[in-house]
A and B are shown apart, each in its own frame.
Chain A
Amino acid sequence: MTRFSAISLIAKALNGHKDWPEQWPDAAPKPAYDAIIVGGGGHGLGAAYYLAKKYGITKVAVLEKGWIGGGNTGRNTTIIRSNYLYDESAHLYDHAVKLWDGLSQELNYNTMYSKRGVMMLAHNVHDIQSFKRHIHANRLNGVDNEWLTPEEAKAYCPPLNISPDARYPVLGAALQRRGGTARHDTVAWGYARAAAALGVDVIQNCAVTGINRGPDGAVTGVETTRGSIACKRIGVSAAGNTSVIMQMAGLDFPLESYPLQALVSEPVKPIFPCVVMSNTVHAYMSQSDKGELVIGAGTDQYVSYSQRGALHIVEHTLAAICEIFPIFRRMRMLRTWGGIVDVTPDRSPILGKTPVQGLYVNCGWGTGGFKATPGAGDLLAYTMAKDEPHPINAPFNLDRFRNGRLIDEAAAAAVAH
């Protein structure tokens, strides 16, 4: 692997950039692997990387039906935070935030993790009480979160409208300073490059069409559009398509897939320094390093795999944005797009073993999977390597829908995030 640095960039530039190698080889499937990851998003590529890096399993293939990072990794609004209410959730997301810090250096790929702060707006007395409860709960878990008055919130994010006459006035905000954003594509590419350097095969245009199982029920491999591959450990990290993959192993899952839209404005010079979210008004926004305002819209109400949403969702989202930030009314929407989010009944992910021996799953991240990327990858790798969940992801097992130990983060996920 050619090391990336300013020095290598200059050296290669002087040579006309003609000897940059492939960042990762376009691998063809081999007959057998020690572990297969289904789904070449950030989570799956991360799992492959950590399998090779931390757990010494290097005969690993990542199978991606299209192009890596082409699912929700490349379609989200890149928000990173860990200010979740319940202990289990706080531990899970903060594990990821800790890994985000330093990820660029670890992967030798600039993922542009920017700790610019995530601010959640309170618009009524109930919000204030709820956010203060979150702040206290977070602090007990070692997760930073602090309360801001409206004036402090305005100072942190000057475009904010804090007029008390607003339809939904800003009564304060909860700020997680370690929260922020990263550059989504680079996360997939960075993991792919680092994993490939450790021997992982990143195989694109390879859709899984079946999961093979032996007489004892354990997995023996997969059928793909590029042939059969033998393997005793399969980790499925396929987001919106998880139900379809799981049905190949005869498993019905507690998941539903919904369309989620996002949009960006035309790029402008820096105006918006942080991430702002409002669950009550249903809006959240940041500004990318390129200058685009990045805005998340809501989900459509029906299940769909069309990666396409309705206009009225966008109308409502922009009305909400203009309500909180009236100076942006003359900004223009440049591009909208849709993703498929897989949602569980309690809005918390499923990360662990399945009833099928050798089949592991990482799914159900709903609208909030990007922030968890390094953590989910690491924990899926751990679970596959040890055949048992790490204490952090142990509560996020599939059994909770049978034994009732749900982790109900529905309130935290009231708006897409």
Chain B
Amino acid sequence: MILIHCPYCDEDRPEIEFAYGGEAHIARPLDPSAMSDAEWERYLFIRNNPRGRHHERWRHSHGCGRFFNAVRDTVTDKFETTYKAGEPRK
């Protein structure tokens, strides 16, 4: 069970307090109807899924309830950092 640092609570807490939220920094299109099928596909379905540094979202669902972003290595499962939603990509 990985330990996750919640940037709002500023504490390391066990994974079971958190819910994974998928890849981070996927901007929701402001005008979906103006997008091509390929652009819409990219937004909906295409994911980086890298071996290595992964930007991802977590929610401290059994804590403060806030969504935040993280950088984690998907080979070691080690977090590089976590940061608040709205902060620039790290």
Contact = CB atoms under 8 A, between A and B. Distances in A.
Direct A–B contact present (CB less than 8 angstroms): yes
Interface of A: 241, 243-244, 252-257, 301-306, 308, 310-312, 345, 401-403
Contact of B15 (A241, A308, A310, A345): A310
B3 to A, nearest CB: 11
B12 interface: no
B27 interface: no
A303 B77 CA distance: 9
Interface residues on B, range: 20 to 34
B1 A312 contact: yes
B79 to A, nearest CB: 11
Interface string B12-47: 000110011011000000000000011011101111
B50 A244 contact: yes
B51 A305 contact: yes
6 contacts: A301-B20, A303-B54, A304-B77, A310-B2, A402-B40, A402-B41
A53 B71 CA distance: 47
Given A304-B74, A312-B1, A401-B41, A256 B19 contact: no
Query: Which DSSP category, helix, strand, loop or mixed, fits chain A's interface?
Result: loop
B76 A256 contact: no
Contact of B42 (A241, A244, A252, A311): A252
B51 to A, nearest CB: 5
Contacts of B37: 402-403
Interface of B: 1-2, 15-16, 19-20, 22-23, 37-38, 40-42, 44-51, 54, 56, 72, 74-77
A301 B75 CA distance: 15
B46 A254 contact: yes
Contacts of B20: 301-302
Contacts of B16: 312
A305 B75 contact: yes
A346 B37 CA distance: 17
Nearest to B77: A306
B46 A305 contact: no
B47 A254 contact: yes
B19 A257 contact: no
Contact of B49 (A243, A345, A402): A243
A343 to B, nearest CB: 10
B42 A303 contact: no
A304 B53 CA distance: 10
Contacts of B2: 302, 310
A304 B72 CA distance: 9
B50 A243 contact: yes
A306 B49 contact: no
A279 B20 CA distance: 21
A303 B19 CA distance: 12
B38 A244 contact: no
Contact of A303 (B38, B45, B49, B76): B49
B45 A401 contact: yes
Given A252-B47, A303-B54, 14 more contacts: A252-B46, A252-B48, A254-B41, A254-B46, A254-B47, A256-B49, A302-B77, A303-B56, A304-B74, A305-B75, A306-B74, A311-B1, A312-B16, A401-B41
B4 to A, nearest CB: 10
A302 B42 contact: no
A302 B23 CA distance: 10
A310 B40 CA distance: 35
Contacts of A252: 42, 46-48
Nearest to A404: B37
Given A312-B1, A312-B16, A345 B45 contact: yes
A276 B1 CA distance: 28
